[in-house]
Amino acid sequence: MAWWGKVIGGALGYMLGGPLGAMLGVALGGNFDRGLGLSDQFGSGEQERVQAAFFSATFSIMGHVAKADGQVTPDELASAQHIMRQMQLTEEQLHAAKKLFNEGKKSDFPLDAILTQFKQECHRRRNLIQMFVEIQIAMAMADGKLHPKEKSLIYHIGQMLGFSHAHIDQLLRFTAGASHTQQDKSHSLNDAYAILGVKSSDSDADIKKAYRRLMSQHHPDKLVAKGLPEEMVKIATEKTKEIHKAYDLIKSNRK
């Protein structure tokens, strides 16, 4: 939680400028948009900056995704609250997360500016950015379906962050498979293949390779080292559990 203390303490070296800083400032009731450029802000305090950017972008864009089809459903609100509970936020952080979510619902929300700065702040941390996209996809699919406007928005978010439509489709299948298992409390074989992003016709070696790649991408310690807020470790841990369960089911079915 060190990053949060830096933000609250107002240490300028750790503050965010630009639209993310402005968004966080609104959430905290202050003006954090110092007009700083991005190019000179890496180095000292970079880890805390990335964590603050991830927190701000995650909850504000979640609000935007939830409102994409014109209304925020109870399931979408419950999904946002579930993520907040998983993070075990302090009262102050929870208040900020809710305000960020509400900012994202506004019609004048600067989505592209937020995404552009977020990508710059993450500075090629692709696995971290992918985790962010997966959270947004989970938000879009919280009510059990993916509205065309939500899907279009997810594609746009992916494109802005450097992911192809094919990669987003794979993440959509991954999230759908994980969502089914959470609802049914058990993996179906189809869900397991979807989670690993493989086909039943793929070789054992290819499936093992996909499993190892996904486990590496979602490894909590690696993601925290790249800037995932420590409060989000539980989310990454749950994802690795789903991946492991899926692989075990496929292995046992192939024996």
Q: With bands split at pLDDT 50, 70 and 90, how would you rate the model's confidence at 4? A: confident
Q: Is the dihedral of CA 233, 65, 146, 121 positive or negative?
A: negative
Flag the least confident range among 37-51, 128-142, 149-163, 172-186. 37-51
Angstrom CA distances, 18 to 14, 66, 115, 142, 226, stand at: 13, 24, 11, 30, 21
Residue type at 162? G
Quick: pLDDT tens for 35-85.
333 333 434 477 888 888 999 999 999 999 999 988 888 888 888 888 888
Structure tokens at 226: 């790249």
> What's the pLDDT score for residue 187?
56
Flag the least confident range among 10-24, 44-58, 97-111. 10-24
> What's the pLDDT score for residue 149?
94
Quick: pLDDT tens for 191-229.
888 888 888 888 999 999 999 999 998 888 888 888 788
> What's the pLDDT score for residue 49?
84
